[in-house]
Chains A and B, each alone.
Chain A
Amino acid sequence: MAANVTVIGRTTRVHGRLTGASDLEVQGFVEGEIVVGGDVTVDAQGIVGASVRGRRVIVRGAVKGDLVGEEAVLLQDGARVVGDVRAPRVAIAQGALVRGYVQTGEGDGAPARSARAQSAARPAAARPAAAVHERAAVAARAPAPAASPAPPKVAVKPAAAQERGAAHAASGTNNAGPRRPPPPVVPALKKTKGQIAKKKER
């Protein structure tokens, strides 16, 4: 049996759960959980109002809910995500907007959470965990459709932290271990982004 691609067309509205084993492409509106065994693509006009779970989740539209990828979550230009993102590999491309907790790597490992932002250009080559260009992404669009100016800055921190965790892995230091609260003051961040220091005070 061929795994057909299910297409939720542009004018289609689905209020209910979507489950299955094949690939799914959302060009319309889905208000309900999506749990599929194949790839899920949310097109630029697609809107999903609940969590999405698939093998690979590719988002170019709006999602209000968690994104869980068995393999990877790719947020492309035009993506607007309010919710957590969890996958072994997460890619947030320039132009994508995220507000939520982003976790890469296997589920058990400690979140690569530390609070020192390297420059956005440092590639996470050694570890396929994250290709984050969050600085450009956040700077590119100040007025987020679903958020006030404060939340995108919140999103910068976990995204920046995961990039730093990837950089650490590249240098051989293993950041995985028991969870630690993030260190309160980060000199590098304080220098480059005053807003992160403001977040610390929150």
Chain B
Amino acid sequence: MASTVIGAGITIEGEITTDEDVVVAGTVRGKLSAKEGITIEHGATVDADVAGASLVIAGALTGNVTATERVDLQSGARVIGNVKAARVTIADGAQFKGNVDMDV
């Protein structure tokens, strides 16, 4: 399945909605919502509420994160915001500030 790639030199200010995978290496401000996975690469800046199926975050994210499956914060991630998912992993080296809600 094709994926949407937001490259390193691109800034998107607004809402993004998609049915496919998203890889963010640039800057997103606003809202990002995908039906499949979202990968926020190291070096990306996301000032948005992010919603998806499974999220892998290795960049800077300020905003709430909602996933229907899982959220993985990798080393190098900087997340400020609430995370809501059934499964959450925060790797060593990830920075995080916010609530974690695992639907318990």
A-to-B contact residues, CB < 8 Å: 1-24, 27-28, 32, 36-38
Contact check, A9 vs B10: say whether CB atoms are below 8 A apart: no
**Binding-face segment, B1-9, B50-58, B61-69, B82-90:** B1-9
Contacts A20-B10, A22-B7 aside, 12 further interface pairs with beta carbons under 8 A come to A4-B7, A4-B8, A6-B6, A6-B9, A7-B2, A12-B22, A16-B15, A16-B29, A18-B11, A20-B26, A24-B10, A36-B10
A-B residue pairs in contact (CB < 8 Å), sample of 18:
A3-B9, A6-B6, A8-B4, A9-B20, A12-B4, A12-B18, A12-B20, A13-B16, A13-B17, A14-B15, A16-B12, A17-B12, A20-B7, A20-B9, A20-B10, A21-B10, A22-B7, A22-B10
Q: Looking at the assembled complex, report how far the CB atom of A8 sits from the nearest CB atom of chain B, in whole angstroms.
A: 6
**A25 — nearest CB in chain B belongs to which residue?**
B5
* Interface members, chain B 24-55 (any A CB < 8 Å): 25-26, 29-30
B19 interfacial by beta-carbon distance below 8 Å:
yes
Contact check, B7 vs A3: say whether CB atoms are below 8 A apart: yes
Please judge, given known A-B contacts A9-B2, A16-B15, whether A21 and B9 are in contact too, CB under 8 Å: yes
B101 interfacial by beta-carbon distance below 8 Å:
no
For chain B, the count of residues having a C-beta within 8 Å of the partner chain is: 24
Contact check, B11 vs A19: say whether CB atoms are below 8 A apart: yes
Contact check, B18 vs A13: say whether CB atoms are below 8 A apart: yes
B-to-A contact residues, CB < 8 Å: 2-20, 22, 25-26, 29-30
**A22 — nearest CB in chain B belongs to which residue?**
B9
**B29 — nearest CB in chain A belongs to which residue?**
A16
**B3 — nearest CB in chain A belongs to which residue?**
A9
Q: Looking at the assembled complex, report how far the CB atom of A54 sits from the nearest CB atom of chain B, in whole angstroms.
A: 12
Contact check, A7 vs B5: say whether CB atoms are below 8 A apart: yes
Contact check, B14 vs A12: say whether CB atoms are below 8 A apart: no
Q: Looking at the assembled complex, report how far the CB atom of A52 sits from the nearest CB atom of chain B, in whole angstroms.
A: 14
**A5 — nearest CB in chain B belongs to which residue?**
B7
Contact check, B14 vs A15: say whether CB atoms are below 8 A apart: yes
Q: Looking at the assembled complex, report how far the CB atom of B70 sits from the nearest CB atom of chain A, in whole angstroms.
A: 22
**A24 — nearest CB in chain B belongs to which residue?**
B10
Q: Looking at the assembled complex, report how far the CB atom of B42 sits from the nearest CB atom of chain A, in whole angstroms.
A: 13
With A and B bound together, what is the CA distance between A116 and B30 in angstroms?
A: 50
Checking A11, A22, A23 against B18 with a beta-carbon cut-off of 8 angstroms, the contacting residue is: A11
Contact check, B16 vs A14: say whether CB atoms are below 8 A apart: yes
Question: Which residues of chain B have C-beta atoms less than 8 A from A6's C-beta?
Answer: 5-7, 9-10, 26
Contact check, A19 vs B10: say whether CB atoms are below 8 A apart: yes
With A and B bound together, what is the CA distance between A18 and B30 in angstroms?
A: 12
Question: Which residues of chain B have C-beta atoms less than 8 A from A19's C-beta?
Answer: 10-11, 13
Question: Which residues of chain B have C-beta atoms less than 8 A from A28's C-beta?
Answer: 4, 18
**A31 — nearest CB in chain B belongs to which residue?**
B14
Question: Which residues of chain B have C-beta atoms less than 8 A from A14's C-beta?
Answer: 12, 14-16
With A and B bound together, what is the CA distance between A37 and B25 in angstroms?
A: 17
**B30 — nearest CB in chain A belongs to which residue?**
A16
